[in-house]
Structure 1
């Protein structure tokens, strides 16, 4: 009887261990997505039909999250101020993450260095490990990949 009870005890312990591993893995997979910026957000896995999604998929991107709101809190002389950034989509291509912004009629993108700095730099600085921002204008049929680079990077590519 002793060997039989030892076997049952081992099966019970293995079952509990497997359950704990499953719960830990499941919790890790479902935790808020942060891209190491410290400002995390939960993925919005319900992706609604939109021409921008179709354009991204045709260009080889996999859309993994729909519209997100990233809350921001600032402390100014002891006073707390709140704001937020909106990310239209998160997409993956070749194993790299991209934040996606779609064109807005009320806020057209100014395609100058200062315009890109004003409109996109906050996203690139909050999530520096992203490969860049993809700008999608379904009305014009445009899809542009924008990344932050340096002059040294430009020299390396031309060499």
Structure 2
């Protein structure tokens, strides 16, 4: 009786091990090639008395992460250039995560399709699991929620 229980346990553990190996190989084979996912840490320090945080909280959002600096290495004609992107905050509301950019006096927002695309679409592409980008206008205290549906064009051409 003990020997049959031992065989059963070994068979069960072996089956689970084979299933785990199969799933690992399957996921590896079906992963997009060269896909580098950005993983954000906790972010920088932020406080509740910052104007961007106050405006977000007044609009029903919860700031979950502070400022993030995303380094970028650019290949250009065989040379290396270095730059960075800044994410002001990560905020949540109704179980949805948003990338937050705050207004800057030196960089006014162009509220046209191409202006929004050029300034903010990079953040939606950087974190595809986000539900969109929040643009906080600190001068007038408003929050603009922006989403991008790529490949969908509803307008008649």
Counterpart of 1:47?
Answer: 46
CA deviation map 1:122-151 (0-9, x unaligned): 111111121111011122121110010258
Q: What TM-score, normalized by structure 1, do the two folds share?
A: 0.67
Q: RMSD over aligned Cα, in angstroms?
A: 2.2
Distance in 2 (CA, whole Å) between partners of 1:145 and 1:51 is: 17
- Aligned 1:1-159 pairs, distance under 5 A: 38-44=37-43, 46-48=45-47, 49-149=49-149, 152=152
Please list every run of 5 or more consecutive structure 2 residues that lacks an aligned counterpart in the other structure.
Answer: 1-34
Q: Decide whether the 8 Å contact of 2:90 with 2:97 is kept in 1.
A: yes
- Cα 1:140–1:76 change in 2 (3 A) is same
Please list every run of 5 or more consecutive structure 1 residues that lacks an aligned counterpart in the other structure.
Answer: 1-35
Q: Decide whether the 8 Å contact of 1:45 with 1:64 is kept in 2.
A: no
- Cα 1:37–1:154 change in 2 (3 A) is farther
The structure with the largest helix share of the pair is: 1
| Corresponding residue pairs, total | 120
Regions of 4+ moved over 4 Å: 150-155
Distance in 1 (CA, whole Å) between partners of 2:145 and 2:96 is: 12
Q: Decide whether the 8 Å contact of 2:89 with 2:101 is kept in 1.
A: yes
CA deviation map 1:48-98 (0-9, x unaligned): 221211111121211011111111112223322111001111101111110
Distance in 2 (CA, whole Å) between partners of 1:154 and 1:60 is: 30
Distance in 2 (CA, whole Å) between partners of 1:65 and 1:154 is: 35
Q: What TM-score, normalized by structure 2, do the two folds share?
A: 0.68
Q: Decide whether the 8 Å contact of 1:37 with 1:127 is kept in 2.
A: no
